[in-house]
Amino acid sequence: MNVAYASVSNLKISNVDVKIGTKTLRNLSDGADISEEVRPGRTVEFRVQSSNTFSNLQDITIRDITTKVTIEGIDNGNDLEQESDSFDLRADTDRKLIFKFDVPLEVLQDTFNVLIDTEGQDDNNAIQRDEKKLKLEVVKDNHLLKIIQKKLTPDTVSCSRSNIQLSTTILNIGNDDEDKVSILISNPDLGINIEDHVGGILARPNQPESMFSKIYPLKILNNIDAGSYPIDIRVSYDLDRKITEETATLNVNKCTAVTPTSPAVKTTQETGGVELITPTEGTTTQAAQPSILPGTILTQEGFLSSNAFVVGLIIAEVAIVIIGVALVVGFFRRKG
């Protein structure tokens, strides 16, 4: 199958709108500058309409069309790129697609090329293709710090209210270095008041010097009520003329005391001289029982009612009779 590019494309990028914030720039032409500036961390939206310009009489469908938008070199020298799923367009129809990009926080103040490309294949196996190029300007404040991390570990406590840590990260997304940066972490209800003089955070996108990270151990009062407590993170910079704030919420649950289990107490009672061991409720440990041969009858009795006592009593009575007879015989012999 021979595939060739059409000499005149009937697949057109018929319209491009760009939305930044609440402002929409409509029907931008090829090579146009996007007049609305975009800042670090903001979203820019491209609305691209592709059209099949074959007439209904020609009745040629363009198939497997994909549209791609690329912002060149904006991400630390790398491109940001999005591509649509493939779709078909019948003759004299169009389709609008939306592409959303988040401008990186760490970015140079510069102008970046935006390439928009659409391509498909018609019923005659010819490649139909069109493209547009726009220019996107990124503008930054001279002084701007942003708190990009505010993580509590743990963020919920109950009886154990120690070993709480707050992880913070501050990023310089402005154009100028910041020489004196201070952090205040506070919540009066929890008894938290931490002040830290950080020093300098440089304006070096994608470099370690543009970022400050630290973990702060937090000690809170033991007698506070259950509830949610916002912990304020306040960053002062530019000679204390600018402030950046965020909050991290600590959830405190009611501490429910656990009743300790009482140890097993051994109670005894005597029945006919035999000591019976009665375990307390909840005690499951039992003394090992001796092996008993089948047919053996077990009884519990005192010594006075036992067989040994009866036998002993009979022996004692026989002994008394014999002694008595001996005494009588001896008495008559002496008299005779």
pLDDT in tens, 77-92: 999 999 999 999 999 9
Q: How confident is the model at residue 42 (pLDDT cuts 50, 70, 90)?
A: very high
The model's pLDDT over 137-193, given as tens digits with 9 standing for 90+, comes to: 999 999 999 999 999 999 999 888 888 999 999 999 999 999 999 999 999 999 999
For residue 282, the model assigns a pLDDT of 46
Asked if residue 49 lies in contact with residue 96, where contact means CB atoms within 8 angstroms, the answer is yes
For residue 4, the model assigns a pLDDT of 84
- 27's enclosing H/E stretch is none
Mean pLDDT for 207-230 is: 93
User: Across all residues in the chain, what is the average pLDDT?
Assistant: 85
Asked if residue 303 lies in contact with residue 273, where contact means CB atoms within 8 angstroms, the answer is yes
Strands (E) located in the chain: 4-5, 11-20, 23-25, 43-52, 62-75, 78-83, 87-89, 93-102, 111-122, 126-137, 145-153, 156-157, 164-172, 178-187, 192-201, 211-218, 227-237, 242-252, 267-271, 274-278
The model's pLDDT over 260-287, given as tens digits with 9 standing for 90+, comes to: 555 555 544 544 444 444 444 444 444 4
**What domains does the chain contain, in order, with CATH numbers?**
4-137 (2.70.50.60), 145-252 (2.60.40.10)
Higher pLDDT, 319 or 67: 67
